[in-house]
Amino acid sequence: MILSDSHCHLQDPRLRGHLTGALRECRALGITRWMVNATRESDWPAVTALATTEPGVYASYGLHPWWQKERSEDWARRLEALLKEHPGAAIGETGLDRWMENPDLEDQRRVLETHLELSRSLERPITLHCLKAWPELAACLKRSPPSKRGFLLHSYAGPESMIAEWVRAGAYFSLSPGFLHPRKANQLAAFKNIPPHRLLIETDAPDMPPPEKVALHRLEVEGVHPLNHPANLRLCMDQLAVSLEVCPEILALQLEKNAAGVFGWA
Q: What confidence tens digit (pLDDT) does each residue in 1-30 have?
A: 999 999 999 999 999 999 999 999 999 999
Beta bridge partners of 60: 37, 90
Distance CA 180, CA 234 (A): 12
* Nearest residue to 126 (alpha-carbon basis) of 139, 143, 144: 144
**Peptide bond before residue 206 is cis, with ω within 30 degrees of 0:** yes
pLDDT above 80 for 222: no
Measured at the CA of 228, the angle between CA 243 and CA 99, to 5 degrees, comes to: 80
Query: Which bin fits 245, alpha (ψ -120 to 50), beta or left (φ > 0)?
Result: left
228 vs 215: CA distance, rounded Å: 9
| Sequence-ordered alpha helix ranges (H) in 73-183 | 75-85, 105-122, 134-143, 163-169
Which 8-state DSSP code applies to residue 231? G
Query: pLDDT-based confidence at 221, cuts 50/70/90?
Result: confident
Output the pLDDT for position 42: 97
- Rounded Cα distance, 178 and 209, in Å: 5
Give the length of the chain: 266
Domain extent listing, the chain? 3-263
In this predicted model, which residue has the larger pLDDT, 97 or 219?
A: 97
Q: CB of 234 within 8 A of CB of 3?
A: yes
For helices 75-85 and 44-53, the axis angle rounded to 10 degrees is 10
| H or E element at residue 250 | helix 248-263
CATH 3.20.20.140 is the classification of domain 3-263: yes
SS3 130: strand
Residue 46, pLDDT score: 98
For residue 57, the model assigns a pLDDT of 98
pLDDT tens per residue across span 74-127 = 999 999 999 999 999 999 999 999 999 999 999 999 999 999 999 999 999 999
Which among 164, 163, 162, 128 is positioned nearest to 145, based on CA atoms? 128
pLDDT in tens, 179-218: 999 999 999 999 999 999 999 999 999 999 999 999 989 8
DSSP symbol at 95: E
The predicted structure's pLDDT at residue 263: 98
Query: Strands 218-219 and 199-201: what pairing?
Result: unpaired
